[in-house]
Amino acid sequence: MVAQSNTYAKSLGILSIATNVYLRYWMVLARSVDQHIRAFSPVTLHVFTDQITVAKEFAETLSNVTVKVHEITALGWPEATLLRFKIFLEHSEEFAESFLIHLDADSVIDQDLEPSLAEMMTDNGVLLVEQSGSWRPKKLSKLLRFYFLHPGAVFADLKKIIWEGGLGTWEKNQESSAFVPRSKRKSYVYGAVWMGVNAKFMELVGELSERVDADWQRGIVAKWHDESHLNWWNSEYRPTLLDPRYYFFPGQHHLDELPSIIRLVHKDEITR
């Protein structure tokens, strides 16, 4: 495991797996990073791909970030998601940056990351992002306004809490390492974006790599793959959560009051 670098107090590594068509999505992400990452310096994009020549040629078109291309075999489904922890663990010695962020290749950054993000990671070790579908405003006045504007959500939320113990799509197979007991189903997070101080980030990666492998050896695949395992980790360690500004999902009207910092890209915008 790599010790946190003392050379750059705010050096950032962004890790993405981009095999097959996802390399095209990652190029859009990379250009958005090149434009919007100013809270950290220097910034290195670590891309894991089966198309190293294309990735390296593209990297030369970027101005403000460095790209390190890591060759992996093309991955199918669900290996492309389940094996991400193992892949990162196997390349851990190549991550020298002080802070690390995992971003799905089909994400895009709309505006600069908040300057306080590095301090938050330093104070908390790991930051996860609450899923937009299960996120609700924390202030009572805004919560009441939300339910006033979306009255159907009151009954939908109550039904979900009564039947499943909490909002979100939790792993309920008790044979899986990703299983979360009903009493611990508090806040559901995205698998698309997670971040932390180098050492803490890699501790998470190491633990979840082992748990995914344990399931795989027994022929068990968690309901939402890597996201299910990340939510087990979330339920066990209760880290600080970022709101859905850090993974904005278009079409979620209750997010209108939040600015979009990172969002899921519209794939048809790329494939036309």
**CATH code of the domain containing 84:** 3.90.550.10
pLDDT, residue 255, reads 63
Q: For each successive 10 residues of the chain (272 residues), what is the average pLDDT?
A: 49 94 94 89 95 95 95 82 91 95 93 90 94 76 74 72 74 91 89 95 97 92 90 94 83 66 68 37
Does any domain span residue 4?
no
Within 8 A by CB and 6+ apart from 61, the residues are: none
Is residue 144 in a domain?
no
In a domain, 1, yes or no: no
* Residue at 153 is within a domain: no
Looking up tokens 């939300």 gives 146
Does residue 89 belong to any structural domain of this protein? Answer: yes
What is the reported pLDDT for 192? 92
Residue ranges making up the domain that contains 55: 12-138+165-271
Cα–Cα dist 180/188, whole Å: 11
Tell me the pLDDT tens digit for each residue of 193-245: 999 999 999 999 999 999 999 999 999 988 889 999 999 999 999 999 998 88
Q: How far is CA 139 from CA 112, 224, 242, 253, in A?
A: 25, 30, 15, 18
Give the count of domains, the chain: 1
Q: Is residue 252 part of a domain?
A: yes
